[in-house]
A and B are shown apart, each in its own frame.
Chain A
C-alpha cells in the first residue's frame, strides 16, 4: 500500500487527471464499485468549481447558456486547478478562455473586476472640506492617493448596457463594437460598488493622479484638452471636485509633507 503522501497524490490524480492508480486502494463491492465511489468526489469537484464560476460570472453565464458555459468551465478547471485557500479567488483568470478581441472576454474581465471591487481594501475618502484648508501656494505640489478599490478598463464592446439590461430585466441591446474604445472606472464608495465612463480629459487626469504627478503638472497637461489657457484652473477644479465627491481620493500630500 502507498504511504499517505503517495495515496493523496493518486487520489488527486484521479480527480484532476483521470489517472486510475488509486482504484487499487479503495474497498469495493458489487453494489458499489470503486469508480462509482471515486466519481462522487470527482463530480463534486467539477460541480463545485463550476458553481463558483457561475456565481462570479452571472451575466456571462446567462449570455453563453448553461451548456457552453459548463464546457468552458470544465476546460478552465482542467487547465487551471485551484491553488487558492478560498474558492473566492478561483475564477481570476477565466477571461483567458476567450479571444482578447471577443465580447465575452471583456464581459468576463468586467464581471471579475466587480468581484475585486466588492471586497477590496477599505479606505476613508478625503473630504472637500479638508482640501479647503490647503494654502494657495501649496496646490501645485500636491500629490494624491487613489482608493485601493479603483479598477480601470477600456471597453471596445457595449458591455455595460448589456450587463445592466440583465440586472434590470429589460431587453438586452444588440452586441456592438465601440469606436474609439471607452475608458471606464470601477470603485467602491463606502460599501457600494460604482462604475462610470470617463471623458478623455478626466481619463487623462486620473491617469496622471495614478502615476503620482503633482497638481501643477496635471494642470499643465490639461492644456491638451482645454481650448483656452485661462480655463485650465477652473476645469482642473471641476474634475478634482468630481473625483472627491465620488470618493476616489483617499489621501494627499504637499511637497513639504513628503
Chain B
C-alpha cells in the first residue's frame, strides 16, 4: 500500500457539479482542483464520464464517496469497491475519501450518513474495515466526520476521541468537515475547538466548508447555502491549529453560478493567507 510521509497539498478546490461542466471547460477558471461525488460516475457511459474525462485533462481531482458504509456491520461490498477502484484507475485522483458512518444493514441503503456509537467495539470494527479497503485500493483513505443529531446511550467517549482513535488504529487520513464539526457542536453542546484541537494534524489532508440551516433546536447539515460567518470563524481557528490544508467548498443544493462559488473560495483563500501570515509567518 502506498503511504506517504509528506502531505500532498492541492490548494483550493470546489465540488464538481454537472451544472458547471460547460463553464469549466469553456472558461477553465482558476480552481486548483475538483472533488467529484464518486457514485455519480459509477455509470456505464454518456455525459457524466465524458465530462469527467475532459475536466480531468485540465484539473487534479479527488474522489468523495457516500456509500462505502465503512461503519456498517454488513460485509464490505466488493463489487462496489471494485467499481471505485476502476474509477480511480481511470482518473487517478489525488486521494479517495468517504464518511465515518454507516448507511444501512441487511443489504439496504438508506442513502444517509448515519451516526455510529463511540465505543471500543466500533473503533475496532471500523479501523479493521478501513484497513481492508486501503489494502484493496492500494492507498490510504481519507475519512470524513459527519454531522449528527443524536447520541447513543452507550457511547464511551467524545466524537473527537473516537475519530482520532480510528485514524490512528487504521492508519488512515482525515477529511475534516469544519461545518459538520460546527453543526454537531451546536446539536450536542460542545466547544468545536475542543474537537479540532484533539485531531492529529499530520493526518488532516482536506477540509470541507459548507452551509447549513436551522430547524427548531437543531442545525442541519444541508449544504444548500453559502458558508456562514460562524463556519468561517471556525475555519480560521482550525487553520491556526493545522496550518495549511487543502480546502474546498461543498455545495450540494441550490447550486449557484460558478462565479459565486469562486467568490466564496476567494474568501477561504483570504482567511488562509491572513492566518498563515499571523500564525506561521507565512503568506
Interface residues of A (CB under 8 A from B): 1, 3-5, 7-9, 11-12, 15-16, 24-27, 31-32, 34, 36-38, 40-41, 44-45, 48-49, 52, 81-88, 90, 117-122, 148-149, 188, 191
Q: A7-B117, A40-B149 are in contact. Are A85 and B218 (CB under 8 A)?
A: no
Main secondary structure of the interface of A (DSSP, over half): helix
Closest B residue, CB atoms, query A28: B150
Given contacts A119-B48, A122-B44, 6 further A-B pairs with CB under 8 A are: A12-B106, A16-B110, A40-B149, A83-B108, A85-B67, A119-B44
A238 to B223, CA, bound (A): 54
**B43 at interface (Cβ–Cβ under 8 A)?**
yes
Report yes or no: A118 in contact with B46, Cβ–Cβ below 8 A: yes
Closest B residue, CB atoms, query A31: B217
A-contacting residues, B16-43, CB 8 Å: 39-40, 42-43
Closest B residue, CB atoms, query A82: B109
Q: What residues of chain B lie closer than 8 Å to A24, measured between beta carbons?
A: 153
Q: What residues of chain B lie closer than 8 Å to A34, measured between beta carbons?
A: 150
Report yes or no: A38 in contact with B43, Cβ–Cβ below 8 A: no
Report yes or no: A40 in contact with B220, Cβ–Cβ below 8 A: yes
| Residue of A3, A16, A48 contacting most chain B CB atoms (<10 Å) | A3
Partner of B122, one of A4, A81, A88: A4
**B86 at interface (Cβ–Cβ under 8 A)?**
no
Min Cβ gap B53→A in Å is 11
Q: What residues of chain B lie closer than 8 Å to A27, measured between beta carbons?
A: 150-153
Partner of B44, one of A26, A90, A120: A120
**B114 at interface (Cβ–Cβ under 8 A)?**
yes
A7 to B151, CA, bound (A): 13
Q: A4-B122, A8-B105 are in contact. Are A82 and B111 (CB under 8 A)?
A: yes
Q: Which of B72-80, B163-171, B201-209, B262-270 contacts A (4 or more CB under 8 A)?
A: B72-80
Partner of A32, one of B47, B72, B217: B217
| Across the A-B interface, the 6 shortest Cβ-Cβ residue pairs | A122-B45, A119-B46, A5-B73, A119-B43, A37-B150, A86-B39
Report yes or no: A85 in contact with B44, Cβ–Cβ below 8 A: no
Report yes or no: A15 in contact with B217, Cβ–Cβ below 8 A: no
A26 to B115, CA, bound (A): 11
Q: What residues of chain B lie closer than 8 Å to A31, measured between beta carbons?
A: 217
Q: A8-B72, A27-B150, A120-B45 are in contact. Are A82 and B110 (CB under 8 A)?
A: yes
Min Cβ gap A237→B in Å is 30
Chain A to chain B contacts (Cβ below 8 Å), 18 pairs: A4-B116, A4-B122, A5-B73, A7-B117, A7-B152, A12-B105, A26-B150, A27-B150, A27-B151, A40-B220, A44-B112, A82-B110, A83-B108, A85-B67, A85-B83, A88-B43, A118-B47, A119-B46
| Residue of B83, B114, B220 contacting most chain A CB atoms (<10 Å) | B114
A5 to B216, CA, bound (A): 31
Q: A12-B106, A86-B42 are in contact. Are A49 and B117 (CB under 8 A)?
A: no
Q: A4-B122, A27-B152, A40-B218 are in contact. Are A11 and B42 (CB under 8 A)?
A: no
Q: A26-B153, A88-B40, A119-B44 are in contact. Are A48 and B108 (CB under 8 A)?
A: no
Q: What residues of chain B lie closer than 8 Å to A82, measured between beta carbons?
A: 104, 108-111
Report yes or no: B50 in contact with A25, Cβ–Cβ below 8 A: no
Q: A5-B105, A83-B109, A87-B39 are in contact. Are A122 and B46 (CB under 8 A)?
A: yes
A188 to B220, CA, bound (A): 40
Report yes or no: A4 in contact with B73, Cβ–Cβ below 8 A: yes
Q: What residues of chain A lie closer than 8 Å to B40, measured between beta carbons?
A: 86, 88
Min Cβ gap B228→A in Å is 20
Report yes or no: B46 in contact with A25, Cβ–Cβ below 8 A: no
Min Cβ gap A90→B in Å is 8
A15 to B149, CA, bound (A): 14
Report yes or no: A41 in contact with B149, Cβ–Cβ below 8 A: yes
**B154 at interface (Cβ–Cβ under 8 A)?**
yes
Q: A48-B111, A86-B42 are in contact. Are A25 and B153 (CB under 8 A)?
A: yes
> Contact mask B74-111 → A, CB, 8 Å, 1/0?
00010010010000000000000000001011111111
Min Cβ gap A252→B in Å is 21
Report yes or no: A38 in contact with B45, Cβ–Cβ below 8 A: no
Q: What residues of chain B lie closer than 8 Å to A41, measured between beta carbons?
A: 112, 114, 149-150
Q: What residues of chain B lie closer than 8 Å to A119, measured between beta carbons?
A: 43-49
A188 to B39, CA, bound (A): 22
A83 to B121, CA, bound (A): 26
Q: What residues of chain B lie closer than 8 Å to A3, measured between beta carbons?
A: 121
Partner of B109, one of A85, A118, A120: A85
Q: What residues of chain A lie closer than 8 Å to B39, measured between beta carbons?
A: 85-88
